[in-house]
Structure 1
Amino acid sequence: MNIAYYRKLRGLTQEALAEKIGVDQTHISKIEVASVGISLDNLFRISIALDVPPSKLLEFRE
């Protein structure tokens, strides 16, 4: 997933993103390293918070 990439591109910390979508910072951290799955609800919330289409968050990046 590209959440960390777009989060950093927008100049947000994990804590700031977590606050925007209403979850704990540790949950964002776990999502970014894929140690937990992401719900569709949170995917769309993150998409809105980062102003990025959900499909961009799911694209393969090397």
Structure 2
Amino acid sequence: MKAEFKEQYEKLGLNIVYYRKRKKLTQLQLAELADIDRSHISAIELGNVGASLDVIFKLCEVLDITPKTLFDFRD
């Protein structure tokens, strides 16, 4: 991950946390539903790693949101 994009990764992570909590899911539950490791969810939410589009699309499906919604960063 390029340092210049760290802030965007963190904002994406915050959005995932927001929509996960809105659905009353734990990281483990979200990970199981999205078929990825819980530690990967944690790293994405913290903005420490990027996520492939496949993972983004699956997370959106599980969270019942569109990718556009997920990338609508609040200031």
Q: TM-score range by the shorter chain?
A: over 0.9
For residue 58 of structure 1, report the CA deviation from its aligned partner.
1.0
Kindly indicate which of the two structures has a greater share of residues assigned to helix. 2
Gaps of 5+ in 2: 1-11
Q: Which has the larger radius of gyration?
A: 2
For residue 60 of structure 1, report the CA deviation from its aligned partner.
1.1
Describe the superposition over 1:9-37 as per-residue Cα deviations: whole angstroms up to 9, x where unpaired. Answer: 00000000000011111100000111000
Scaled by the length of structure 1, the TM-score of the pair is: 0.95
Scaled by the length of structure 2, the TM-score of the pair is: 0.79
Pick one of 41, 44, 55 that aligns with 1:28.
Answer: 41
User: Over the residues paired in the alignment, what is the CA RMSD in angstroms?
Assistant: 0.7
Gaps of 5+ in 1: none
4+ runs deviating over 3 angstroms: none
Identity %: 48
